[in-house]
Structure 1
Amino acid sequence: MQFKDQIDFIRQHIKKNKLRVFMTVLAATMGTAFLIVLASVGFGIHDTMRSLMLENRLVTQIEVYSDDLGAEEAEEMKGIDHVKAVVMHQGANAMQQASLGKYTTHGNLLVTDFKEEAKVGFALAEGRLPESTYEVVVGNGFAESLIDESAAEKLAEALPEGSEEEPEIPSYKGELIGKTFTYQLGDYGTGELYDDKTELTIVGVAKKPSKDWLVDNKIYADAALIPELEKIYKQDKKEEVTDPLFSSMLYVYADVLENVKSVTSELKDQGYNVYSISEELDQIDVFFLALKAGLVFVGTIAILISSIGIFNTMTMAVTERTREIGVMKAIGAQPKLIQRLFLMESAWIGVVGTVLAIIISYAVSLVSNWLLPIIVGAAIGEEDFAELNVTFSVIPWQLVVIASAISLTVAIVSGWRPARKATRIDVIDALRREL
């Protein structure tokens, strides 16, 4: 029998039993679509989390911990392969106050090297990076932290005695770029500020942190300011100076994410304690790999359930065509040919079901990614949630291949036993059945 004749044989049976074959294809389609859509949720959430982490420069940042960190160690680290920049942050260990007119804040001065910061993209909401000693960048929450303390005290006094209501503290509302404020150090022990003051000019405002609950009210100054502040600290401090004014934290930045592990290993070999967000990323990847495997397994159960329908359909096909099989055997058809005919029919059901499932799955994925953010945003009362870059469903080609392979394999296996049964039909019994 030629291949064309084999196709005609299958087509004739399908035409005779359109409804039954349609329901079987529908079951196979639903099972495969369920697998793809279910697993796509795991891929979507994983993709969203990775995107949120990778869009931040922290993904290539390596925090270095050691009791002895200085400019010399930082220079040595710059020589490590694949190191893009080495940034040393130095925080002032003293009472601090920044004053802009009648507004004050107990700011936190952070000294850094802006040349190195520029290499790794110091994120600014507006303005530019400092180019001289007395130019600074302030955090996004700096203006909000500047308050009029005298006005706040008056508002508090005006409240009725015993009132639990908290007065609205007036904060600075004007522009920051170009403004000059006074920075003072002080003594934590006495709570007094030193007499010497430093005038600093704001030339930039840092971008808001990615985490909404973080408030950045820091003052970012250039390392050239350190000598002057240390001089003030030593001159104005009443008792003998024993502790340094600044404590250091070193950050090493790899050129690309793929090289973070090699840089981290090199730093560990040199005796440093290190931490990088890429280690968390690896843990997330492992977690989502297990999650996606579990979702694929659950989806496979749905396909296995649909295989019952394919098995029943093929069993009925063998029963209904017993006499045809007997005639084919009588005229010399080989058992392998008969078996192949029924396997081709079950495979056809699997192929059609898989193709339809893929089309439906992509449609469901597109609709869910558009509709779910709106529904979730409305449910939790966050109108801006729909504007966030949250992906609920992603269907990579690997998932399509896996689902197709499982679906086709299950379809062929489901038709295997009925096909084998067809090869064992006795010719004489088959011909007598219709006589």
Structure 2
Amino acid sequence: MSSLVRKVRQNPVGRVVVDVFDWYPAHYPAEERKLLRKLDLCILVFACLSFFCKYLDQSNITNAYVSGLKEDINAGGNALNYFNVAYYTAYVVGQIPLMALQTRPRLAPYLLPTLEIVWAVLTFCQSRVTKLWQMYLLRALVGFFEAPSFGGTHLILGSWYRKEELFKRAGVWFMGNSLGSMFSGYLQAAAYNGLSGVHGLAGWRWLFVIDGVITLPIAFIGFAFFPGLPASPRRWFLKEEELELAKRRLPQREEPQITWKTVKTTLSRPMWWICVPAYVCMIQASYWLSYMSLWLKAEGFSVTLVNILPTFMNLTQAFASWMGTTLAGVISIPLLWTGQFVCSMFGAICLTIWYIPNGLKFFAFYFAGLSYSASPILYSWINHTLADQTAERGLIISSMMTLGYSTYVWVRTASRDDLSTADSS
């Protein structure tokens, strides 16, 4: 087998294929391969499940809105946008303070699992709302406590894995984003068709109940297995020599905590000024993808199809996240970045024109989903480039999320929920 792999590697295309699927290279010492397998089970399993639930809880508001929530709590007009504004405003506020907690070695193993319990409780609460203000409040609380999920997990991944290991695993982890959104669509369709009226609850309320039931057990997986940072106290499943090996693989040049010195040092270097504006532009280039459900509802599609048809876009996003990030470890990152830009720009141009055949609109939404490779590529590049500087990585990642979603909020306030006016004018 090893001779066959060597022959395949002699071909440039074969080398890429082998690198994509070779997670535990034969040239690694046996103890290092054993460590990687253990890290994958302890970090990647919880990270993927947690990220899946984060996006399940985040995207369920749109599925619920087009499945009866709008009518049941009189959430007309621009209410869906304001739900998202409440969520992302609090999401922005929570970025830097909660990321600062994630860089604390003693807190790092337990912060995300604890927040997982909070997400579950807040999700259960959303199933009982009867007034508009209650949903605004709950969406804001969900946004605040979900703030460190994305950046915090990236920080952890970049603290344990080298470049050739990191890109592959970040691609698999980031698929949880799209798969969570996709599953929410199928779940709402099933709840609407099968649970509406059961125990006196509407189908959209059952969506929040089921989401909470899925989320809660994952917290206990995190408490048992999530290792935090290499500088965190040794967890029960890591031997002393394994933890020392992990530290030697990615030595740190500074203390991991974010301090005022970190802020001053980071702003004096180019990485912050490159990555933050790039992320802001990337966020604005893709926010419109979430409006596909509203367009389908305005077109008169059934509730089931309104929830299911956008999931094909989520599927393309999941594929792009995995493939783009995995390939970024072995081929040109600028080439991949240009490719995702073309996908996003094509969709944005088509939907800016708007008065095009519906078939082309479907294609524009689905094709633009391929642009979702951008985020995991950018974050993985940051983690690799600043692998030995945990605090600077944490500050840059939280700054990207803060400023990126700050602009995301005001753009949404200028958008309309109801696309029927645009279609009929």
Give me the TM-score of the superposition, normalised by structure 1. 0.23
Higher strand fraction: Structure 1 or Structure 2? 1
Which protein has the bigger helix share?
A: 2
Taking structure 2 as the reference length, the TM-score comes to: 0.23
